[in-house]
Amino acid sequence: MQRPEAWPRPHPGEGAAAAQAGGPAPPARAGEPVGLRLQEPSLYTVKAVFILDNDGHRLLAKYYDDTFPSLKEQMAFEKNVFSKTSRTDSEIAFFGGMTIVYKSSIDLFLYVVGSSHENELMLMCVLTCLFESLNHVLRKNVEKHWLLENMDGAFLVLDEIVDGGVILESDPQQVIQKVLQSAKEQIKWSLLK
Structural domain boundaries of the chain?
A: 46-192
pLDDT tens per residue across all 193 residues of the chain: 444 444 444 434 444 444 444 444 555 556 656 555 666 777 788 999 999 999 989 999 999 998 888 999 999 999 999 999 888 878 888 888 899 999 988 889 999 999 888 889 999 999 999 999 988 887 777 778 888 888 888 888 999 999 998 999 889 999 988 888 887 777 766 666 6
Q: Are 69 and 84 in contact (CB under 8 A)?
A: no
Are 82 and 109 within 8 A, CB to CB? yes
Give kind and range of the element (H or E) at residue 72: helix 71-85
| 3-state secondary structure (DSSP) of residue 188 | helix
3-state secondary structure of 102: strand
Query: What is the pTM for the complete model shown?
Result: 0.74
46-192: which CATH topology?
Beta-Lactamase (3.30.450)
Dihedral of alpha carbons 34, 37, 43, 44, sign = positive
Rounded CA gap, 62 and 158, in Å?
9
